[in-house]
Amino acid sequence: MIRTIYLAIIGEFDHMVGHYVQAVKDSGKYDNTVFIVTSDHGDMQMEHRQFYKMAAYDASSRVPMVIMDARNPKRSPLVTKAVTQLIDIYPTVLTYAGVPESRWPALDGQPLQATLLDENQQVPEGKAWPQVQDRPDFVVSQFHGDNVAMSWFLVVHDGFKLIVWGTGEQHPHQLFNLTGDPNEETNLVDDSSHTERLQTLLAKLNSVVDFAGVAKNVAKYNHDSLTFWTNTTANWREEMGKAGLRWSESWNQDAAASVAAVEEFLAQPPQVQACRSESVWPAALDVAII
């Protein structure tokens, strides 16, 4: 059912894009228009038994991007595995608009024109994915939100993806071969043949974001925010379990224990905490499993 609904949404989106294109044609501006179609995130469709959008797996973190310059359309589509990011769209638009780089603000992204103009998409010897001149050879992504226990960070380079959780100490890293294992089912992080690759990916990730420091800052922000809310909200214990909130049903399975868990969290200093592995919490003691 989840995939059926998702595919229906994709069909609707495709239909809407067609209307936009037709409107541009009707305006007489089609031959002077660049179309960029993309998305802000993917959506898990029960891959790894998950749904929604906060996962670091490709089904969530990888998004489609289609660029068509109607002023100079290609004779056949060019599909590339060269890595890109959504932050590349802004400098790409500036370049198409002819805005001199001297007038650009400070940007983290890079124009995509070099990728679009590279018809050969050469893969260097010993590499898995093409490397386009004047383009970075890796991309980084990160997520922080109330739907995950801690921040995650990822870096993709030459067909491999490394996922780091929190400060890197709370959960083992995940390393996937996106070419040989596109479903990301085999974690290679403990494979000694990838030790050097792991260090390379960590260095590239750290060159963009101090993931350990950011994870700690996010944990402190969460702790400070909840502390402020409980200190300024009358009857916060009742408010937290009020009917209609998306967590109210689970909260009220044992409201007293839920309140106690929040109070215990607030009493501790801010920290990035490891995920609990127990299927039931509080963990049962001396339970015989037959």
pLDDT for res 98? 95
Who contacts 228 (Cβ-Cβ below 8 Å, separation ≥6)? none
Helices (H) and strands (E) in the chain — how many of each? 9, 8
CA distance 151 to 165: 6
Buried b / exposed e over 206-242, threshold 16 CB at 10 Å, is: eebbebbebbbebbeebbeeeeeeeeeeeeeeeebbe
Higher pLDDT, 243 or 282: 243
DSSP state of 71: T
Sign of CA dihedral 169, 171, 172, 175: negative
CA angle 237-275-58, nearest 5°? 115
- Would you call 141 helix, strand, or coil by DSSP? strand
CA distance 43 to 199: 29
pLDDT for res 71? 92
Entry pTM: 0.89
pLDDT digit string, tens, across residues 7-43? 999 999 999 999 999 999 999 999 999 999 999 898 8
| DSSP β-ladder status, 152-157 and 160-165 | antiparallel
Name the H helices within the chain: 2-27, 58-61, 89-96, 113-117, 195-208, 211-232, 236-240, 248-251, 255-267
pLDDT for res 290? 52
| DSSP bridge pairs for 67 | 36
pLDDT digit string, tens, across residues 171-228? 999 999 999 999 999 999 999 999 999 999 999 999 999 999 999 999 999 999 999 9
